[in-house]
Every structure is written in structure tokens, then in C-alpha cells.
Structure 1
Amino acid sequence: MVDWLEFIAALTLFMVSHMFPVRPPMRPWLIARLGTKGYFISYSILSLLVLAWLIMAAARAPYVGVLPQWEIFRWAPLVVMPLACLIAVGGMMTQNPLSFGGLGKQPFDPDKPGMLAATRHPLLVAMALWAGAHLLANGDLAHVILFGLFGGFAVMGMMVIDRRKQRVLGQEEWRRLATGTARLNLMGLSWSPLPLVLAGAVFLVLILVHEPVIGFVPLPW
């Protein structure tokens, strides 16, 4: 049990850090003191730091096999992650009144939804793809718990955000904005040059930092 303490502590801190800062009255209290931009920047940095610790703690946890270690499974992240990067980058480049994470400068146009035609929850879909691919590639108990949690969180998050946005925006306005979008429709992927180039750069950086940060070479050869 002692060998699992770091993983349990990191997992607990990650869950707590994603439960309390985003809930009222904590969120309005933090925004009032940090400002909206300061809140999101601080929350993003905190989330990344805790996530990094959680991933490293999972790698250091005792190995308990759950899924078969087939060689083909090691290819899953290399096949899936370029798509996840494209969806995340393309989604972040578009203002998104239907979910979160949009940083685009132009107002959202429901007639030209861009990457939101593939999914109105690009960050959550990217997270689900990342989690599913890495769950297959690892397959031990700690990583099944870790990536299963992220995958479940992403899928549930899409449903929760859709319901919340319908309530906040009203059914008519939500339908107007969401008409050209989908929860997930890969046929609607945007292949614009800039998102492709940026996604390729992000994927390359992830490959390069994987070993020094995670301690594992992601290439199967």
C-alpha cells in the first residue's frame, strides 16, 4: 500500500483541484480577486502542474497488469495523437460559446463553425482521444485508472456542458449556435493549413519532451 501512496495523493489532489476552484462560491471569489484572465491562467498552470505530477506518479506506481501488452497497442498514441492535436489546436483558434477553451479573436459564426463542426467540445474530445490511446499503450492498473478517469471525465463533461449551456443560453439560442456543430463528427474536421501546421508542431514537441518529462520514449522502435 505504501508503494501506491504517491499515486493516490496525486490523484486525490488532481480531483480536489478540479472540483473546488470551478464551483460557486469559490470560482466567483477567485475571479473577483484574480480577474477573469488571472483566474484562468492560474487555474491552467495549477492544472498542468498537478497533471504532470499525476502522470509521473502513475509511471512510478507498482506494475499490475490489466490489459495485454500487444505491440500494436504501442502504436495507438502515435496514430491518435496527431488527430487529437489537430482537434485541440483548431478548436482553440475559434471562439466557443458552446464549451470552453476558445481563444479566437473573431466572434463565433454558426454558419462557419470551423473545427466546431467536428466537435463543439474540442478540448474534451482531444482529452478522450489522448486517454483512450494511452490506456491501450500502457495497460497497467495505475494507468488504466488514470486514463480511464480522464476518458470518463471527458465524455461526461460533454454531456454536462451541453445541458448547462442549453440552460444558460436558452434552448432556442443554443440550437441556433449549435446547428452546424456536433458532439463528435470526424467528417466535419477542418483541414485548414494553419491548424495543421500548428498541430504538427505541437505533436513534435510532445514527442520530444515525452522522455525527459515522463521518462519513457513514445516511439515503438
Structure 2
Amino acid sequence: MGWIEFGLAMMLFMASHRIPSALGVKDSLIERLGSRGYTALFSIASTLLLLWVIWAAGRAPFVPLWDQTPAARWAVNLVMPVVIALSAFGVGAPNPFAFEGRSTGFDPDHPGIAGVTRQPLLWALALWSLAHLWANGDLAHVILFGTFAGFSLLGMKLVERRRARMMGHDWDRLSAQTALVPFAAMFTGKWRPQSGPSLVRLTIAVIAWAAVFHLHEWVIGVMPNP
């Protein structure tokens, strides 16, 4: 039963990110709830499904593949602040390149988070998955985090391709000071940050990190200390 629940949870999570768009449900909900309302609803549903997937992986039969090491636990703790910062600065920010961003208010001369990376949330998911993959070497969690890592890395290509097609000739102008790989635009001289980070989003990131760290044992069942 453990494997059946885990498989069902994984399928529903993946389907929730594809079926609404394919069946036109997404457009219908946006029309009724507005863009922000839909984003809030989708975020809540995705979070609940993600928690179910993680809990189901923990209840699946334990099949060890490799042992956890102190280095792996340190890696998770060092990566998670970056993951949460990318999420906090990416969701709802002016960023027409990412599905979690806003198409309005974007200034190509001051790209904000898009100057760091055009796909902050997908990079957050990839880093979260890869760090936890290293730290959890049993079969169920390898399937879980390996799938999410592949999903996020492949998703970057698909989202970039779709947005480039939608923007057409405007893509080169709008993306001139951005890059897909984090900080690549800054290292190549295409972009220089001209102001500090949003204090509101920075505060949200710090609070979110503290909440995730302190609630991890209660929600997931494992203390995240190295």
C-alpha cells in the first residue's frame, strides 16, 4: 500500500501542473478569480500535494541505496536559504519569462530578479531536489527528488522555449540583461544590479526560512540540523 500511495501522490502532483492548462481549466479559473486569485489557489493546492508526496515517500517501504553523510546534511542547510530566497524574490515579481512572474511592470533596463535568473522558482525547485536527493539515499526519496530535479531542469527549457515563441522579436530586447543560469548575466557583464533587494521580499525570505527550519521536524518528521 505504501508504494501505491506514493505512486498515486506523484501522479496527481505531476498532473496538477499539466492538466489544468491542457483542458482550459486554468484560463477559466483566471477569468473567474483573476491572475492573483488563481496563483494563490494554485500555490496552496501545489503545496498540499507536495506535502502529501513527501509524506507518502516517507511511508513507502525503505530500500537503502546509499548512506546519509554529514556533508549531505550540511549541503541541504546551505542550499535551503538560497532556495527560499529565489522563491521569495521570484513569485509575483515583474518577470515575463517565468510562469510564476508578472508580465506587467517589467523594465528590461532594470530586470530585477530576472537579472539574476529568468527562472527563479524552477532553479529553487532544482536546488531543493538535488540537495535533498544527496541527503536521502533510499529508493522512494531518490525517485521523489530525482523526478523533481528532472522536472524542474526540463521545465526550464520548455518554459524558455514557450516564452521566446510568445515574445517573438521582442525576446532579444527584453532578455538582453538577463540569463537562464543564475548570475551568468552579472558575470558576463550583461547586467549590473543598480539597487538593493526589496526589503519586504527579503523579510519574507528570512521569515520563511526560519519557519521551514523550525517546522521541518514537526511537518516532515526529521530535524534538519547538520
TM-score scaled by length of structure 2: 0.87
> Aligned residue for 1:185?
182
User: Alpha carbons of 1:107 and 1:36: their partners in 2 closer, same or farther (altered >3 Å)?
Assistant: closer
Secondary structure of 1:152's match? Answer: helix
Which residues of structure 2 form unaligned runs of 5+?
A: 187-191
- How far has the Cα of 1:193 moved from its partner? 6.2
1:98-154 superposed Cα distances (whole Å, 9 cap, x missing partner) = 1122369x7111111122112111100111111111111111111111111111111
Rounded Cα–Cα distance in structure 2 between residues aligned with 1:206 and 1:12: 25
> Aligned residue for 1:201?
207
Judge conservation of contact 1:75–1:137 (CA < 8 Å) in 2: no
Secondary structure of 1:94's match? Answer: coil
> Aligned residue for 2:189?
none
Which residues of structure 1 form unaligned runs of 5+?
A: none
> Aligned residue for 2:138?
140
> Aligned residue for 2:19?
20
Greater Cα offset, 91-100 or 119-128 = 91-100
Rounded Cα–Cα distance in structure 1 between residues aligned with 2:93 and 2:34: 22
1:8-64 superposed Cα distances (whole Å, 9 cap, x missing partner) = 121121122222112243323333444443333222221111111111111121111
| Residues paired across the two proteins, number | 217
Using the aligned pairs only, state the percent identity. 44
> Aligned residue for 2:7?
8
User: Alpha carbons of 1:197 and 1:214: their partners in 2 closer, same or farther (altered >3 Å)?
Assistant: same
1:146-193 superposed Cα distances (whole Å, 9 cap, x missing partner) = 1111111111111111111111111x2011111111111336496626
- How far has the Cα of 1:206 moved from its partner? 0.5
Greater Cα offset, 66-75 or 174-183 = 66-75
> Aligned residue for 2:148?
150
RMSD of the TM alignment (CA)? 2.2
1:74-103 superposed Cα distances (whole Å, 9 cap, x missing partner) = 111101011112222222363111112236
Read off the aligned partner of 2:183 and give its amino acid letter. L
Rounded Cα–Cα distance in structure 2 between residues aligned with 1:138 and 1:51: 17
Rounded Cα–Cα distance in structure 1 between residues aligned with 2:81 and 2:91: 15
Rounded Cα–Cα distance in structure 2 between residues aligned with 1:132 and 1:123: 14
Determine which of 115, 118, 142 is the counterpart of 1:117: 115
Read off the aligned partner of 1:205 and give its amino acid letter. A
> Aligned residue for 2:220?
214
Secondary structure of 2:224's match? Answer: coil
User: Alpha carbons of 1:193 and 1:128: their partners in 2 closer, same or farther (altered >3 Å)?
Assistant: same
Rounded Cα–Cα distance in structure 1 between residues aligned with 2:198 and 2:43: 27
Rounded Cα–Cα distance in structure 2 between residues aligned with 1:51 and 1:210: 14
Judge conservation of contact 2:9–2:52 (CA < 8 Å) in 1: yes
Secondary structure of 1:16's match? Answer: helix
Judge conservation of contact 2:2–2:56 (CA < 8 Å) in 1: no
Secondary structure of 2:22's match? Answer: coil
- How far has the Cα of 1:200 moved from its partner? 2.1
Secondary structure of 1:47's match? Answer: helix
